[in-house]
Amino acid sequence: MERQTSNHPTARGALMFLSLEVRSYKTQSPQHCHDHTQLVLPIRGRMEIDVDGRGGFIDQSLAALVKPGSRHSQDTHVDSRFLVLDCAPTTLETIQMGRLAEKIYVPVSPATRRLIEFAELIGNQQLAIAASQLGPLLLSSLGSDTCCFSSPIEQLIARLRANPGAHWSNQAMAQAANMSMSQLHQRFRQLFAMSPQAWLTELRIQEAERWLRGTSLPIAEIALRAGFSDQASLTRTMQRLSATTPAVYRKVQKQSG
């Protein structure tokens, strides 16, 4: 993909074995291609992308794999940011990720999401140094799921776990799983004995608790990241489901840690 900006300039040869970089793109890029493999992992925002005539969009729950010679174009939001992995055409086969190479749109697993967060935190200067170690981990975390989530509902669950804070209405979930609303509710009842939104709320609480334990981010920001409308909404939900509040939960975790 044609790059607009990055946080740090990276020296690049004609074809590098593997590189990682945080980038942003022009809002629209015309159709183009390149001679290396490229994996685009959203950090923030979303991208509408067409790869060899297959249109779709990627967000924090879905990545795009662009093979050498594939003609592609994209349209992104202005404030979107992406972690981009460029590697030689043979890299996926070299590290036994051939199944991953068969795909264009790849679900982002929770493990992959944590690696993306780490990459964003260390920045491009450290990414240039750590690419040879972090790159294969990213590919492996994606490749391990490509053979596991075979059904549409499994792929949906993987996307929800990877990005619970996104705007997941019942309609959006049904569309992502390629099923009707009644089928969606039936499958969630069979799998989890609860409605899609009830299951998603529990998942969002788990995500909020992870941020409360592991970061010093303001509770209001954690609420938004986890998919709640504001801090008050998160507080009410935690009180209802866990009989605690975000502030109390964070304090207890710090004392026990």
pLDDT at residue 15 greater than cutoff 80: no
What the chain holds in terms of domains, given with CATH numbers, is 5-146 (2.60.120.280), 152-256 (1.10.10.60)
Nearest Cα to 1, choosing from 46, 35, 33?
33
- Tens digits of residue pLDDT in 49-108: 888 888 777 888 888 888 888 888 888 877 888 999 998 877 766 655 666 667 788 888
Residue count of the chain: 257
pLDDT at residue 17 greater than cutoff 80: no
State the pLDDT at residue 134.
Answer: 92
**pTM score:** 0.61
Confidence of residue 185 (pLDDT cuts 50, 70, 90): very high
- Tens digits of residue pLDDT in 92-150: 666 556 666 677 888 888 888 889 989 998 999 999 999 989 998 888 888 665 445 56
State the pLDDT at residue 47.
Answer: 86
State the pLDDT at residue 237.
Answer: 97
State the chain's mean pLDDT as an integer.
84
Using an 8 Å Cβ cutoff, are 208 and 228 in contact? Answer: yes
CA–CA distance, 48 with 58 (Å, rounded to integer):
7
Instruction: Check residues 133 and 151 and name the one with the higher pLDDT.
Output: 133
187: left (phi over 0), alpha (psi -120 to 50) or beta: alpha
- C-alpha atoms less than 13 angstroms from C-alpha of 82 in its C-beta half-sphere: 32
Instruction: Check residues 242 and 11 and name the one with the higher pLDDT.
Output: 242
State the pLDDT at residue 172.
Answer: 93
